[in-house]
Structure 1
Amino acid sequence: MSKPGLNTLKPGEHYKANEIDSFITTTDAVILSTNDNQLFSDPEREFRVLHESEGFFEHSSEDGEKHFREKKAYVVEKV
């Protein structure tokens, strides 16, 4: 399932951790994993993309406000 040069992840599709690693290294995006901090512990482990979002809110510690960031965010789960 090699997908060199990924420029997006598609909901419902499966990707190996090393493919997600390559994607996030070359893309300005956020990955949220149900596998906590073990997403990249096994490069061959497969993950399914559950959801894709065009952005997210985050709280700023600088001004105490919530700001919407227009940055792709993906939720993945271990298969």
Structure 2
Amino acid sequence: MNTKRLSEVEVGRNYTAKELDSFVSTTDVVLISNNESQLFSEPEREYKVTQSFNGFFEHSSEDGEKYFREKKTVVVEKV
């Protein structure tokens, strides 16, 4: 079976958990899901990409400052 390797996802499109697993494995990305820790528990479950950002703010517990991290961030919701 030929496995599709994703290097990019599009807002508004649906992807299986298996495809998103491939995307996370090959891309430097933060993936946020409303399915919490169960995102990859059902490989054929579909998720819709709802938003995509070029980064996010993170609070440092070491110095108390907030830093913008330039890292692709994608939000998905189960469908």
Flag whether TM exceeds 0.5 (same fold).
yes
Matched pairs, number = 78
1:22 corresponds to: 22
Over the matched positions of the two proteins, sequence identity in percent amounts to 58
1:42 corresponds to: 42
TM-score (norm 1): 0.92
TM-score (norm 2): 0.92
- How far residue 3 of structure 1 moved from its aligned partner, in angstroms, is 7.5
Distance in 2, matches of 1:3 and 1:57, equals: 34
Deviations 1:31-57 (A, max 9, x none): 000111110110000000000000000
- Classify the secondary structure of the residue corresponding to 1:75: strand
Where in structure 2 are there 5+ consecutive unaligned residues?
none
Where in structure 1 are there 5+ consecutive unaligned residues?
none
Q: Give the partner amino acid of 1:31.
A: L
